[in-house]
């Protein structure tokens, strides 16, 4: 039972925000106060537990750097990122589903021409990607900006290796008149999210694993259309049913067929087996 003096504390805080000039900010801090106070009243933390919670959030902040965002990782592993994404992408039927941005996006990715090899020479099974960008009416979208990024065969992104001078497995391409984007990469692998910090400690304490299924990241933007942030997951990959950040959607699970040595669609001849990926992205209008 909530005692009157406890309710009075909650109401006093809400009243203190009553003169907030911005209506949206006022609504946010009011709801936050009610929800946070309700949580505390339900859980009834001890002083030690509350101090541990504050210490945990402090450690999350200390773990953040120019190449790592531990708060995004915390949001991802609590499912909040996917919930915010779902709320903000109630798009028209037929548009490609979105998913989390993740902590490894870089806004300064190197540009690459159509058909480029973005692997940077790292080891892995060659992958030829051929995707199409179109609108809800099926018309190709030319000039769309397409960011792609992925981990290497050891499960690491380039930004996790600061000693390297250049980006790899990451690029920004532009769709052609036919809405096409083509590039060479390597087959992505499943990998663990960084679990050497407080978020990793939270996962261990709750009996959860840190693994994500194999996937490619895409961020696609085009004039007159809503930007799309999504992944394409490798069918059959481990952890599709237990992604640490809850990002998997059935429509984003794709085939990556294996081909024998020989000539690829773009004329490249390979002396070893290789994979391919074909997919059609559909952008919603603004």
pLDDT, position 91:
64
Q: What is the largest CA-CA distance in the chain?
A: 77
Tell me if 64 is assigned to some domain.
no
Is residue 90 domain-resident? yes
The count of structural domains within the chain is: 2
Q: Is residue 235 assigned to a domain?
A: yes
Asked whether residue 73 is domain-assigned, the answer is no
The CATH number for 152's domain is 2.60.130.10
pLDDT tens track for 107-158: 889 999 999 999 998 999 999 999 999 999 999 999 999 999 999 999 999 8
Count CB neighbours of 217 within 10 A: 23
CA distances from 76 to 61, 248, 253 (A): 15, 12, 19
Q: Please identify which residue in the block is written with the tokens 């990926």.
A: 277
Amino acid 183: pLDDT: 98
Query: Which residue, chain included where needed, has tokens 């009157």?
Result: 4
Query: How confident is the model over 38-49, as pLDDT tens digits?
Result: 999 999 999 999
> Residue 137: which domain range?
80-283
Confidence (pLDDT) at 274:
97
pLDDT of 89 strictly over 90: no
Residue 276 included in any domain: yes
DSSP state of 109: P
Q: Say what angle helices 80-88 and 70-77 make with each other, to 10 degrees.
A: 80
User: Does some domain include residue 29?
Assistant: yes
Of residues 93, 31, 122, the one with CA closest to residue 251: 93
Could you read off the pLDDT of 177-191 as tens digits, one per residue?
A: 999 999 999 999 999
Q: Are residues 95 and 199 in the same domain?
A: yes
Is pLDDT above 70 for 286? yes
Structure tokens of 109?
């990715």
* CA gap 253, 181 in Å, rounded: 19
Alpha carbon dihedral 257, 144, 165, 210, in 10-degree steps, equals: -50
Are both 24 and 155 inside the same structural domain?
Answer: no
Tell whether 97 and 22 lie within a shared domain.
no
């Amino acid at each position: 039972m909530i005692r009157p003096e406890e309710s009075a504390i909650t109401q006093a805080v809400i009243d203190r925000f009553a003169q907030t000039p911005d209506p949206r900010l006022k609504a946010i801090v009011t709801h936050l106060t009610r929800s946070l106070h309700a949580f505390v009243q339900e859980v009834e933390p001890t002083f030690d537990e509350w101090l541990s919670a504050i210490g945990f959030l402090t450690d999350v902040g200390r773990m953040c750097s120019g190449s790592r965002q531990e708060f995004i990782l915390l949001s991802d592993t609590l499912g909040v990122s996917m919930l915010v994404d779902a709320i903000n992408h109630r798009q028209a039927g037929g548009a490609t589903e979105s998913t989390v941005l993740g902590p490894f996006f870089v806004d300064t990715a190197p540009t690459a021409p159509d058909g480029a090899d973005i692997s940077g020479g790292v080891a892995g099974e060659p992958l030829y990607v051929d995707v199409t960008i179109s609108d809800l009416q099926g018309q190709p979208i030319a000039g769309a900006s397409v960011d792609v990024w992925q981990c290497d065969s050891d499960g690491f992104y380039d930004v996790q290796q600061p000693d390297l001078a250049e980006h790899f497995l990451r690029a920004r391409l532009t769709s052609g008149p036919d809405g096409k984007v083509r590039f060479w990469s390597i087959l992505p692998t499943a990998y663990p999210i960084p679990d050497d910090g407080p978020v990793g400690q939270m996962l261990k304490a709750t009996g959860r694993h840190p693994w994500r299924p194999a996937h490619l990241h895409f961020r696609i933007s085009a004039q007159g259309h809503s930007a799309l942030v999504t992944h394409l997951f490798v069918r059959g990959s481990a952890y599709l049913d237990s992604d640490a950040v809850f990002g998997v959607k059935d429509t984003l699970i794709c085939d990556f067929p294996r081909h024998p040595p020989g000539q690829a669609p773009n004329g490249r001849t390979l002396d070893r087996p290789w994979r391919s990926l074909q997919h059609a992205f559909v952008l919603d209008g603004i």
